[in-house]
Structure 1
């Protein structure tokens, strides 16, 4: 993967390239970012960049001064960042043999570690047992999360782990001599799944073999072993901007610009979530929400029961998407009520609905609704009974907005 394949994060890409060209790259990096921000694609792009044959190397012919060490060894660097190989490129070339192998995840000097499960009771699995599945997963879901990965290998309710045996394999592989590239890279995805057995890695993380780079890719640093965390250099990725998500959807998923902007606005900078939304892009959440609010405010218990019966059959993911859409409209309504000049930035159909929400509920009521929607999403994620949950949610919404009423019409 090349940097150009990573959605958005232009400032972060430039920062990483600057670290490489300036010889300021630590032996151990922690690429930390929320789900869907693209830290795994960034790590893969960095690994390909470092192994690309276009990257200037030490020991090149003496037509120009030698370049800086990739890992901060005390070697003077030219001010321009040039070496015998020329200026550091902005990206891997994508065409040299090393780039082609890196893109296919078969480069012998780029190693991967990730959570796995036993194939059968008593197994002591290591990452290479699942390398075929890993390559396919990265090809199809580079913005996927640990749940997506574990489900793709049939984990169901099993807990994934990075095992003690895997730690031993990491140490063994990184102590081998490089096959082709001057650099060895380990991409350790989801170090949150590394338990106390991860302490076996402390020595090699702190004092790795020459020109060896650890790239830890994580979403939650609070779940990483402190002993590992303290030995890494942090590179923090922010959530994607709505415009970046929308651009990714139009260029990669072929989505129309208007629909891409709507999906991006709901996804909250999470490209994985945006792709999940696409699976339900044809669902008319606004009509479903209008029907619900009319049942709560106008048509009464019979209509409420009928609505709950229908929504309980949607499935967990679609229920979450619907609640997220309601949450998005409420946030839009609050933004319209307290910030001037926002009307032109909201699609007309959403603007009309958000303004109606401002009429049926004040600011405090809207904030209360947001809280109960977040609670409902939390319980849906944990397999709550859908009928009971939406009946309870219907009653809560009625009590929150009972002192006002407005029939929501097309």
Structure 2
């Protein structure tokens, strides 16, 4: 694989992702919908197939899937500076808000505040529904792939184990290898990644060394900062699918040793639902409130870097080999199955937890329905839907 030069600038990437970091409400699955609208439909930085393959890869790897997708988009557009710009722009807004919340800066209380939060959550319903609708038409155009998508959705819906998501992707890839070879419409489009294989192997080595060595170093040194970094690194390295799946790992990392009590943990989790950007920024809140030193802003920085670093390293390890792999005939057949599974996983997430935790009555359904029509029929920008849903949520709570 040749290492290609990026075609954009980091400043451009930062501006786009900062706007997304300020407006992307709804959690990791909704973020995939936001990214698809912004970079596939609007800016055309990559096509639908390449984007679906990238999403499938990030869903399969450990780490925060939506942040890995964003990091990859910045990397392909403007190289390593673009990747850093994408991560910074998308991550810092919610991280800053959650650190302020840790210091008691939350003002969202009473019916108006709860209505605003609930309205923002309804944005996720519209965004995820749009993503499922658009990706299903492109990636599940026949009965075979539609059936794979349905089976993947059923596996996710009827299981409570996060491992099932990885299993669904693996099984769908095998099903695609067997069932999706016929009617191949051309090869996969080129997937330009400015990462060499040497860098990829070095990233894999760093990922493994840190995962194995940090617990030993933390125990031998007795340093609170190293122990804190290790706890968050371990949580980020062992979570598949990202998002809400990381919560049990984080609880084990900070509540079990007595660094944070359950009340503070759950309060911060509730706040994390109300801010845009990646849910993994919950680590910034936890780092700020932990009972060991360092905490405060220093602890927030340690938590934030610790939880995101393993996902970045394993992604850099996989990307240099991804383009060559996905161009092979057998790999294309597998990816047809995997892409169908991604649609099924999105569909399952649309129901649980997005729909079941958000649409609580006819008013909620009406707000979500209007948002969906605005996105799919009127082609309104996601920010318009965010503003509409927030106002509608406040009015519904006040009435």
TM range (shorter): under 0.3
Of Structure 1 and Structure 2, the greater helix share is in 2
TM-score (structure 1 length as normaliser): 0.23
Give the number of the structure with larger relative contact order, counting CA–CA contacts within 8 Å between residues 6 or more apart: 2
Normalized against structure 2, the TM-score is what?
A: 0.24
Q: Which has the larger radius of gyration?
A: 1
